[in-house]
Amino acid sequence: MRFRLIATAALAAALGVGTALAAGTKDEREAIMKKIGGAMGQLVAITKDEKPYDAAVVKTALTTIAESVKAFPDQFPPGSEKNSPAASPKIWENMDDFKAKADKLHADAEGLLAQLPADKAGVGAAVKALGADCGACHQAYRLKVD
């Protein structure tokens, strides 16, 4: 029994099912964006003096953003257009541009990791730069829902 369970899990992992089965769901999309939003929140807290500058926190937040956004476009496979009301149909019409906007955020976060903001002012500039990437994609592809 136990072996069967393990074997099934291993097979599922090998086939990429399991978590991948959930790809494109509202929950999966929101979970990624919430992670990104949480990381941004940590950076913003430093700019507002709610938290002291901490290089380790900045590094972790930027890493979370860079890593998380990479998997985001995978959450919009063909046929999943109706899975979440906040996802605009334009995503599927302009998939290359949608991916480019995700890549831009990834690249900007990686660039900041390579030259880690060294103080509060640096974090402020980073928030501004990354925030522009969030805004560009949200404006084009995120719908307002109540």
Q: Which of 72, 70, 90 is nearest to 24 (CA)?
A: 72
Looking at beta carbons only, is 12 or 73 nearer to ligand HEC? 73
Binding status of residue 133 toward ligand HEC by CB under 6 A: yes
Binding status of residue 65 toward ligand HEC by CB under 6 A: yes
Q: Which of 30, 65, 102 is nearest to 91 (CA)?
A: 102
Q: How far is CA 35 from CA 14, 17, 42, 94, 121, in A?
A: 26, 22, 11, 24, 23
* Least CB distance to ligand HEC at residue 86 (A): 3
Binding status of residue 74 toward ligand HEC by CB under 6 A: no
* Least CB distance to ligand HEC at residue 144 (A): 10
Using CB under 6 A, pick the residue from 34, 55, 121, 128 that binds ligand HEC.
Answer: 34
Q: How far is CA 129 from CA 7, 15, 56, in A?
A: 46, 38, 20
How far, in Å, CA of 7 to CA of 56, rounded?
A: 39
Q: Which residues bind ligand HEC (CB under 6 A)?
A: 26, 29-30, 33-34, 36-37, 40, 65, 69, 72, 84, 86-87, 98, 101-102, 105, 130, 133-134, 137-138, 141-142
